[in-house]
């Protein structure tokens, strides 16, 4: 059965088209200025099939039609399990928040921790810091991996951390060393959340935009001593999870 999912996030809109256990198509579009319009365009490109929605802007689609919705926690859990059938946890670094999710043997959510009170450590934090250091977001992670000298960023508040970065630049500290310090500060926060959520560390799937950041994945792997699986499709895990949910809902209603 072909089904689709839409994840309307704070920075991007993701759609996934799934057929059983196979991914047919994934799309990602910028949603900074008009997430509803981006979702509307992407929805029109989907074939007639069951659709489910998640994300910060999931209620926006009420203006277009009636679609079943699920929480981001459930969507990312389903999506991660679809991508990696034996995963026991999820680390989602999204545009505005971080989520750590612990799964049971059946892939159901046992516990989760979520940082949603500010953008500290999120994708938006990384965007701001990359821009301040003069890196593209794509180059930021690679620059952090090449950092050699130990530099400390003491604040996770975006405003104060940016001030620290400016101060370090004024002292001629290497940009790549600052980039590494920023990534380590994010990892420190994630490790604290991870310890509270207590997922089994056998296989953790990275989702959200953070799955595309090589330094974040490498530093997390070292800090947690866990197998962090970062797949190309990880950014779209929420949309994939929605597609899985839409198919299951259709089967239940047809029974």
Which pLDDT band, with edges at 50, 70 and 90, does 34 fall under? confident
Distances (CA, A) of 27 to 7, 157, 158, 159, 197: 10, 32, 29, 32, 30
Where are the domains positioned within the chain?
A: 2-80+235-254, 85-230
**31 contacts 8 by C-beta, under 8 angstroms:** yes
Instruction: State which fold the 85-230 domain adopts.
Output: Nucleotidyltransferase; domain 5 (3.30.420)
Residue 181 pLDDT more than 70?
Answer: yes
| Structure confidence by residue, pLDDT tens digits, 79-128 | 999 999 999 999 999 877 899 999 998 999 999 998 855 555 577 888 88
Average pLDDT, rounded, for the chain: 90
Which pLDDT band, with edges at 50, 70 and 90, does 163 fall under? confident
Distances (CA, A) of 42 to 30, 35, 139, 159: 11, 11, 28, 34
Q: Hey, do 2-80+235-254 and 85-230 end up sharing a CATH topology, with the first three levels equal?
A: yes
Which pLDDT band, with edges at 50, 70 and 90, does 25 fall under? very high
> Domain 2-80+235-254 is in which class?
alpha beta
Burial 20-30 (b: 16+ CB within 10 A, else e): eeeeeebbbee
């Amino acid at each position: 059965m072909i089904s689709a999912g839409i994840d309307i996030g704070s920075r991007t809109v993701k759609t996934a088209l799934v057929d059983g256990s196979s991914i047919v198509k994934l799309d990602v579009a910028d949603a900074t200025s008009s997430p509803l319009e981006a979702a509307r365009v992407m929805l029109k490109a989907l074939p007639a099939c069951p659709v489910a929605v998640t994300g910060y802007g999931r209620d926006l689609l009420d203006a277009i039609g009636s679609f079943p919705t699920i929480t981001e926690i459930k969507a990312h859990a389903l999506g991660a399990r679809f991508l990696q059938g034996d995963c026991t946890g999820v680390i989602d670094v999204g545009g505005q928040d971080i989520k750590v999710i612990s799964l049971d043997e059946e892939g159901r959510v046992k516990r989760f921790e979520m940082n949603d009170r500010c953008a500290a450590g999120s994708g938006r934090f990384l965007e701001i810091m990359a821009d301040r250091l003069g890196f593209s977001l794509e180059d930021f992670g690679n620059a952090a991996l090449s950092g050699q000298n130990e530099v400390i960023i003491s604040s996770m508040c975006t405003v104060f951390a940016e001030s620290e970065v400016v101060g370090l630049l004024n002292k001629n500290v290497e940009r790549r060393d600052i980039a590494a310090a920023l990534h380590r500060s994010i990892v420190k926060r994630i490790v604290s959340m991870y310890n509270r959520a207590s997922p089994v560390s056998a296989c953790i799937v990275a989702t959200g935009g953070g799955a595309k950041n090589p330094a974040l994945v490498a530093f997390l792997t070292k800090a947690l001593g866990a197998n962090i699986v970062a797949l190309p499709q990880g950014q779209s895990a929420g949309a994939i999870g929605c597609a899985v949910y839409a198919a299951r809902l259709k089967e239940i209603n047809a029974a």
